[in-house]
Amino acid sequence: MNNVVVVGAQWGDEGKGKIVDWLSYRADIVVRFQGGHNAGHTLVIDGVTYKLSLLPSGVVRPDKLSVIGNGVVVDPWHLLNEIAAIREKGVEVTPDNLLIAENCPVILPFYGVLDRAREAARGDSKIGTTGRGIGPTYEDKVARRGIRLCDFTEPEVLRTKLDYLLAHYNALLKALGAETFEPADIYAKIMEIAPKILPYVGVVWSRLEAERKAGKLMLFEGAQGALLDIDHGTYPFVTSSNTVAANAATGSGVSAKTCGRIVGICKAYTTRVGAGPFPTEDHGSDGDLLCERGHEFGTVTGRKRRCGWLDAVAVRQAVKTGGIDGIALTKLDILDAFKEVKICRAYKLNGKLIDYLPAGQQAQAAVEPVYDVCEGWDCNTRGLRSWAELPAQALKYIRRIEELIEAPVILLSTSPERDDTILMKDPFSG
- In angstroms, the CA 390 to CA 413 distance is 12
- In angstroms, the CA 387 to CA 398 distance is 11
Active site residue 13: yes
Which residue among 13, 151, 311, 325 is the active-site one?
13
Please name which of 206, 346, 328, 338 lies closest in space to residue 267, comparing C-alpha atoms.
Answer: 328
> Hey, what long-range contacts does 304-307 have (CB within 8 A, 24 or more apart)?
305/13, 305/271, 305/272, 305/273, 306/271, 306/272, 306/273, 306/278, 306/281, 307/269, 307/270, 307/271, 307/281, 307/282
Active site residue 325: no
Which residue among 21, 37, 41, 115 is the active-site one?
41
Q: Which residues are known to be catalytic?
A: 13, 41
